[in-house]
Structure formats: C-alpha cells, structure tokens
C-alpha cells in the first residue's frame, strides 16, 4: 500500500505543508536586515496551530546561509551553559574561539587555549564568543520551543537582553502558548520582551488546503473545498482530516468520526483542561447559544458586556475563539463546539 501523505504526529517537518511564506519572510528579512530592527520574535498560538513547524522552517531557512549559526535550546536546562557548549563543540567555531584566545577550559568544553586566563563566568564567555562571531561576520539564532517562565528561561532572557544591548549578533525565536509567553513578558526584569513582536498563528489558507486535498485525496473540487472548510485552517486538523479520508478512500461518516475522536484525544482534551473555569463557562455559552451573535452568547452566559469582554479577548488571544467578525464569536477550532457540549 502507498504511504499516507498526511501525518498524525506533531512532527517538525510534515510531508504536506501549507506554506506560511509571509511569516517566514517577515522573520528572515527582519533578522537579516542591516542593522536588524528586531532581534527577537515570539510565536504564540494554541496547541496544534503550527508553532513548531514555523519555527523549524525559519531555522532551516537561516541555516542554509553560511553566516548563520542556529542553535536550539531546551528551556528546562541551563541554557547559557548549553549554548556555550554547543557553540564550542562545532569545529569551525571552536577554531575561531581558539584564535581569539577565548579560554573555556574551566567549563570543561575541551578547548585548548594557552597563554590566556581561563574565563570563569558563563556570561563573559558568551560575550567573548559572540564578539568573535561578529568579527567574522557571523550571526547566531537561538530557538526555544515551548518557552515558559522557568528559572532557566528567565536567566537566559536576561543575559540575551544584555548581549543585544552590546550590539552582539544574537537573535531569538521562541514559541509558546499565549499564557506562558505572556507570563514571561510580564517579568519585570525582561521589559524588552514586552516590546518584542509577537506572531500569532493564523489559520492556514482554505483555498490552498482544498487544492492539496484535491491533489492527494482524489476528491472533486466541491468535496475538497468542503473538507478544507471543515478544518477551519487549523493545521493539526488539516493533517488529521487528510489522514483519515486518505485511509478510508472517501469523505464518509466514518472518516469524520475518526477525525473527531483524534482531535479530542490529541488536542482538545489538553486545550480544554488548560482553560480557567470562567473561560469554560464562556466557551460553553458559545457552544449552546442559538447563534454566534455576541448578544445571544452573553444571554446564555448571563453576563454583561463588561463581564464578557475580558473572557472573549482571552479566548481569542489563546487561539480558541475567532473574534474577527464584529459582534460575533465562534470557535477557531473545528468540531470544538461539539467537544465543549460533551464536556460542560
Ligand atoms: N504549515 C503547515 N502545513 C501543514 N501542516 C502543518 C503546518 N503547520 C503545522 N502543521 C501540522 O499541524 C500539527 C501541529 O503542528 P505543530 O507545529 O506541532 O503545532 P504546535 O507547535 O503549535 O503545537 C502537526 O501535525 C503538523 O504537521
Ligand atoms: Mg509545538
């Protein structure tokens, strides 16, 4: 049997990709500008909205240029140390550091340098390493997937801020759930993050999805478009719908049921569990209301405009609710209304 072109796992580079060209270009062009207008971007969005895939696309793109060095760091570890270790483990860079007489022997990174005092502070070490990269026209991109306000992350961000202030060529691309990124931005010592540009994950293009389905699933134009609309442009659903329809060979009831269950088990359960009680109450009012009009939803929720608005705004920022049509609210995630009905 031929291999299913769609994937059910949260892979970094799915076989079928609906391009996010303008977002990739925005980050790449901003980082590559001389001088760069920004050295950090924050990617936020709900689980399954394609943050990791986008981050990977940008990294891969920059990695194809000689002058860029790309390092991914784990926000649960000592990030400064991991970064220094990673850089000095690359042969071509280790040579630069050695010729700049950067003595890292105290860190156990194994760089032999004679005739200079060993550096004992990791921030000093990174400062020297970046200065050496800069003098060779190189730039460093650090990526962090699923960032949260962990002690390691705060320590790293604070050091990053100082390196940027010294005009060193270090760039940061982070992904995270809206709440986690917001908490990090709210840290008093990390004000630069507050001003950092945020890329909120938008739905994928429905027309492009329809074209993809027509090509891979053998659906006619109308069916492909109907299926594409059912995904609401939610990337995880694009893969899941594609996968099960490909599997069953047609756009039938059974395939749709399998999709529902898969979305529930691998995305919605987690998304739902991370909502506050108030968010859940508003979500269930959206699911139950006779129309998507805010007035109808508020009536079901029994909330005044002032009570309702903060919840709506938060659900929109989290990527759960679509508030783009004035006076209306609906779910941004396909079949989520049914999930909410079943769980509230
Ligand atoms: N641009 C895209 N085109 C097609 N599929 C995508 C795209 N972005 C993400 N996906 C798919 O959606 C799912 C979730 O993507 P991922 O980047 O892991 O989301 P997140 O990191 O926001 O939770 C994965 O199965 C991935 O293959
Ligand atoms: Mg991810």
pLDDT, tens digit only, all 344 positions of the chain: 689 999 999 988 999 999 999 999 999 999 999 999 999 999 999 999 999 999 999 999 999 999 999 999 999 999 999 999 999 999 999 999 999 999 888 888 867 777 788 898 999 999 999 999 999 999 999 999 999 999 999 999 999 999 999 999 999 999 999 999 999 999 988 989 999 999 999 999 999 999 999 999 999 999 999 999 999 999 999 999 999 999 998 888 999 999 999 999 999 999 999 999 999 999 999 999 999 999 999 999 999 999 999 999 999 999 999 999 999 999 999 999 999 999 98
Q: What is the pLDDT of residue 1?
A: 67
Which atom of ligand 1 is nearest to 201's Cα?
22
Q: How many CA atoms lie within 13 A of 171 on its CB side?
A: 30
User: pTM (2 decimals)?
Assistant: 0.95
Ligand 1 close to Cβ of residue 318 (< 6 A): no
Ligand 2 centroid from CA 94, angstroms: 31
Distances 7 to 50, 109, 204 between C-alpha atoms, Å: 13, 39, 16
Cα–Cα distance between 313 and 310 in angstroms, integer? 5
Cα angle for residues 238, 319, 241 (degrees, 5° grid): 15
Ligand 1 centroid from CA 61, angstroms: 17
Name which residue sits closest to atom 25 of ligand 1, judged by CA.
Answer: 10
Q: What is the pLDDT of residue 191?
A: 87
Name which residue sits closest to atom 26 of ligand 1, judged by CA.
Answer: 10
Domain 21-200 has CATH 3.40.47.10: no
The CATH number that domain 277-343 falls under is 1.10.10
Name which residue sits closest to atom 6 of ligand 1, judged by CA.
Answer: 235
Residue identified by tokens 């492009």 is 208
* CB distance 133 to 91 below 8 Å: no
Indicate the domain borders of the chain.
Answer: 21-200, 206-272, 277-343
Q: What is the pLDDT of residue 241?
A: 97
Ligand 1 close to Cβ of residue 7 (< 6 A): yes
Ligand 1 close to Cβ of residue 45 (< 6 A): yes
Ligand 1 close to Cβ of residue 6 (< 6 A): no
Q: What is the pLDDT of residue 60?
A: 97
Ligand 1 close to Cβ of residue 109 (< 6 A): no
Cα angle for residues 192, 67, 89 (degrees, 5° grid): 85
Ligand 2 centroid from CA 47, angstroms: 7
Distances 99 to 92, 111, 127, 170, 282 between C-alpha atoms, Å: 11, 11, 16, 21, 61
Cα–Cα distance between 209 and 200 in angstroms, integer? 20
Residue identified by tokens 């898969």 is 262
Ligand 1 centroid from CA 47, angstroms: 9
């Amino acid at each position: 049997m031929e291999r299913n072109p769609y994937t059910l796992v949260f892979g970094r580079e799915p076989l079928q990709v609906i391009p996010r060209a303008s977002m990739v270009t925005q980050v790449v062009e901003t980082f590559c500008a001389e001088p760069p207008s920004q050295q950090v971007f924050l990617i936020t969005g709900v689980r399954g909205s394609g943050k990791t895939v986008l981050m990977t696309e940008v990294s891969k793109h920059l990695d194809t240029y000689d002058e860029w060095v790309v390092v991914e760091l784990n926000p649960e570890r000592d990030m400064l140390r991991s970064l220094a270790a990673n850089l000095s483990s690359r042969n071509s860079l280790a040579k630069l550091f050695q010729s700049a007489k950067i003595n890292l022997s105290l860190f156990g990174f194994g760089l032999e340098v004679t005739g200079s005092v060993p550096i004992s502070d990791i921030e000093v070490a990174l400062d020297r390493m970046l200065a050496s990269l800069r003098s060779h026209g190189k730039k460093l991109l650090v990526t962090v997937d699923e960032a949260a306000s962990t002690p390691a992350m705060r320590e790293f961000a604070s050091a990053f801020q100082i390196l940027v202030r010294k005009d060193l060529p270090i760039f940061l691309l982070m992904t995270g759930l809206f709440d986690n990124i917001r908490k990090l931005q709210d840290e008093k010592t990390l004000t630069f993050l507050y001003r950092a540009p945020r890329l909120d994950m938008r739905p994928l293009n429905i027309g492009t999805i329809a074209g993809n389905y027509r090509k891979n699933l053998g659906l006619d134009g109308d069916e492909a478009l109907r299926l594409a609309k059912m995904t609401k442009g939610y990337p995880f659903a694009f893969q899941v719908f594609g996968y099960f329809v490909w599997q069953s060979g047609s756009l039938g009831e059974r395939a749709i049921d399998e999709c529902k269950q898969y979305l529930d088990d691998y995305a919605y359960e987690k998304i739902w569990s991370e909502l506050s009680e108030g968010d859940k109450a508003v979500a269930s009012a959206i699911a139950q209301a006779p129309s998507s009009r805010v007035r109808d939803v508020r009536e079901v929720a029994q909330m005044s405009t002032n009570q309702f608005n903060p919840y709506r705004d938060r659900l929109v920022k989290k990527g759960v609710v679509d508030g783009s049509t004035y006076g209306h609210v609906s779910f941004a995630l396909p079949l989520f209304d049914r999930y909410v009905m079943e769980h509230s």
